[in-house]
């Protein structure tokens, strides 16, 4: 007899609700979950084909070690012992700057990132590389300057907006907001609302938009500057909003005065009247914007993001109904870093800071490995990602990884990166383990779904968080845990929590290692480090959060 199990998609940041049919221990069918409060029965083609993600060829089911160019199966004990010894030797000889962690849980499992960062920091290193540092570095850096925190990414209040501007974003295909195709169609068909697409291409989103400005590629910043200049020249700016909510406007407003607007718009290959009409709408309607790769990956990407913030501020759209809100979140996406602080690390050769919520840009890693700097990267721990296919310049990465003293990869399959590794450690898939994500892409609700295992893992596969815990233990990053905590973990959770806090308050090393301590105690009972870490996170949340 088969059964249906509620879960979520792990293939994009929307994590739409799914129902999975399991028969004889195998996932056989996927449907949208109509009871999911976030996706409301919506799922795209990727989610409905998640079986292809779960059942891939070349699945890894046991630890592997490369010897004489070939991989040989070894035990978990041997793998963890050897990896820990090599890391200790490298870090001890060359300093913590020689070690980097690359990962972050991707689109399906963020508890892995928490454990990975705890491992990294436990070793004294701050070199965390992830896709956030590559794709969104300019935008998140600007966000940190404008809002005070790099992870305070704003999103549109699509429920109340009268006009949604899709700037460099093809939401009909790429989503990037819950139920994007349905929401975009709904706005475009509503006579009282307007969908605007600003994109050089007549994309699927532009095709249904009420207004499409097909600007010349790479001229986004020029167009935004022209629009701000028009609004100021016409006296259409929201002066009250600027006075009450914006600091520093007096220092930059002169940038937009006396600007040759018509020449700029001509260079953008747009019609002045069309741009003027859009500026009028932006100052008379409640509007919001959603930007994507056309802004992030185009020319002058950081300037694009900065000018978009200025345009939004001039029109008073931030933190106003129908505008752009910084959504609530269960857990921030990363942490804030500011390169002006001398304590913030920079890469040793390229001298770049962590521009996106604590993450360094992966594109610089090959140079950091191949340089002659005495504290160059020598050991890299890759978890749940495939840099040889995800990041720029594959040839440079291949040369760099071959130059490392140690490359360890956690994955579910023998990826291109895994084939370059010294050790490959078999992970459970997202449907074989407990995990969650903290994407804050909904407003006004805040959602967080803890996914349970749907099927059992094959062979000797472990959660990535369990693997991190094994390594942390062998590296001596976890204090000795008293027997009474192991016993308490078998009983009442509140009693266990009290026992844990009483002991931790007396053990100087405990709080830095709390995720690993939870993994070794509660996680042992639940066969899940991720679930134990999630429980601990909720138990230590502020009272206001627990009561909401």
pLDDT of residue 540: 82
Whether the predicted pLDDT of 548 surpasses 70: no
pLDDT of residue 176: 87
Residue 285 near residue 195, CB atoms below 8 Å: no
Whether the predicted pLDDT of 1 surpasses 80: no
Pick the CATH number of 154-325 from 3.40.50.300, 3.30.390.50, 3.40.228.10, 3.40.50.2300: 3.40.228.10
Mean pLDDT value of segment 430-453: 92
Closest CA to 514 of 537, 482, 491, 541: 537
pTM: 0.94
What is the rounded CA–CA span in Å between residue 331 and residue 439? 9
Residue 40 near residue 447, CB atoms below 8 Å: no
Whether the predicted pLDDT of 542 surpasses 90: no
Fold of the domain built from segment(s) 64-130+335-426: Rossmann fold (3.40.50)
Closest CA to 305 of 444, 490, 147: 147
Per residue in 255-298, pLDDT (tens digit) is 999 999 999 999 999 999 999 999 999 999 999 999 998 889 88
> What rounded mean pLDDT belongs to the chain?
95
Domain ranges within the chain, ordered by starting residue: 64-130+335-426, 154-325, 479-548
What is the rounded CA–CA span in Å between residue 75 and residue 411? 16
CA distances from 398 to 52, 133, 258, 286, 377 (A): 27, 20, 51, 50, 15
Neighbour-count burial for 391-430, b at 16+ CB within 10 Å, e otherwise: beeeebbeebbeebbbbbbbbbbbbebbebbbbbbbbbbb
Please tell me which residue, 402 or 444, carries the higher pLDDT value: 402
Whether the predicted pLDDT of 508 surpasses 70: yes
Per residue in 101-149, pLDDT (tens digit) is 998 878 899 999 999 999 999 999 999 999 888 888 899 999 999 999 9
**Facing residues of 101 across strands?**
128, 381
Per residue in 315-362, pLDDT (tens digit) is 999 999 999 999 988 888 888 999 999 999 999 999 999 988 889 999
pLDDT of residue 546: 62
- Reading the block at residue 258, the tokens are 């006396």
Residue 115 near residue 516, CB atoms below 8 Å: yes
pLDDT of residue 130: 92
Please tell me which residue, 541 or 143, carries the higher pLDDT value: 143
Whether the predicted pLDDT of 547 surpasses 70: no
pLDDT band at 443 (very low <50, low <70, confident <90, very high): confident
Residue 226 near residue 215, CB atoms below 8 Å: no
DSSP classification of residue 427: B
């Amino acid at each position: 007899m088969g059964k249906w199990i509620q879960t979520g998609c792990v293939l994009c940041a929307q994590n739409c609700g799914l129902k999975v049919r399991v028969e004889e221990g195998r996932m056989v069918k996927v449907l949208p979950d109509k009871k999911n409060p976030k996706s409301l029965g919506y799922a795209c083609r990727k989610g409905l084909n998640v079986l292809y993600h779960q059942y891939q060829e070349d699945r890894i089911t046991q630890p592997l070690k490369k010897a004489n160019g070939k991989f040989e199966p070894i035990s978990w004990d041997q793998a963890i012992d050897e990896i820990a010894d090599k890391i200790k030797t490298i870090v001890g000889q060359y300093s913590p700057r020689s070690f980097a962690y690359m990962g972050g849980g991707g689109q399906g499992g963020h508890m892995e990132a928490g454990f990975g960062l705890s491992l990294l920091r436990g070793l004294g290193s701050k070199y965390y590389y992830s896709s956030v540092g590559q794709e969104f570095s300019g935008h998140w850096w600007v966000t940190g300057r404008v809002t005070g925190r790099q992870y305070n990414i704003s999103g549109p209040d699509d429920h109340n907006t009268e006009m949604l501007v899709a700037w460099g974003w093809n939401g009909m295909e790429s989503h990037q907001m819950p139920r994007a195709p349905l929401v975009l169609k709904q706005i475009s068909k509503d006579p009282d609302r307007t969908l605007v697409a600003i994109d050089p291409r007549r994309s699927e989103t532009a095709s249904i938009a009420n207004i499409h400005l097909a600007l010349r590629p790479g001229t986004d910043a020029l167009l935004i500057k022209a629009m701000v200049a028009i609004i100021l020249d016409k006296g259409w700016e929201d002066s009250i909003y600027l006075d009450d909510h914006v600091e520093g406007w007096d220092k930059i407003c002169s940038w937009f005065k006396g600007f040759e607007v018509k020449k700029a718009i001509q260079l953008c290959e747009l019609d002045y009247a069309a741009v003027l009409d859009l500026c009028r709408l932006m100052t008379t309607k409640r509007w919001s914007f959603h930007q994507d790769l056309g802004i992030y990956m185009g020319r002058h990407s950081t300037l694009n993001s900065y000018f978009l913030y200025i345009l939004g501020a001039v029109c008073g759209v931030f933190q106003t109904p129908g505008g752009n809100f910084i959504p609530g979140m269960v857990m921030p996406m990363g942490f804030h870093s500011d390169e002006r602080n001398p304590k913030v690390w920079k890469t040793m050769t390229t001298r770049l800071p962590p521009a996106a919520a604590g993450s360094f840009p992966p594109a610089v890693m090959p140079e950091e490995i191949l340089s002659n700097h005495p504290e160059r990267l020598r050991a890299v721990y890759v978890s749940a990602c495939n840099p040889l296919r995800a990041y720029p310049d594959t040839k440079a990465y291949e040369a760099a990884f071959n130059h490392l003293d140690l490359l360890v990869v956690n994955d579910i399959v023998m990826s291109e990166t895994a084939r370059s590794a010294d050790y490959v450690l078999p992970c459970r898939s997202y449907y074989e383990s407990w995990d969650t994500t903290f994407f804050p892409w909904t407003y006004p609700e805040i959602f967080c779904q803890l996914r349970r295992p749907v099927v059992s893992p094959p062979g000797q596969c472990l959660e990535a968080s369990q693997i991190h815990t094994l390594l942390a233990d062998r590296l001596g990053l976890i204090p000795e845990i008293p027997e009474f905590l192991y016993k308490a973990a078998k009983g009442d959770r509140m009693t266990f929590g009290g026992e844990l806090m009483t002991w931790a308050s007396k053990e100087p090393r405990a709080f830095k290692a709390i995720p690993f301590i939870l993994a070794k105690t509660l996680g042992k009972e639940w066969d899940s480090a991720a679930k134990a870490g999630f429980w601990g996170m909720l138990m230590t949340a502020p009272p206001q959060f627990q009561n909401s």
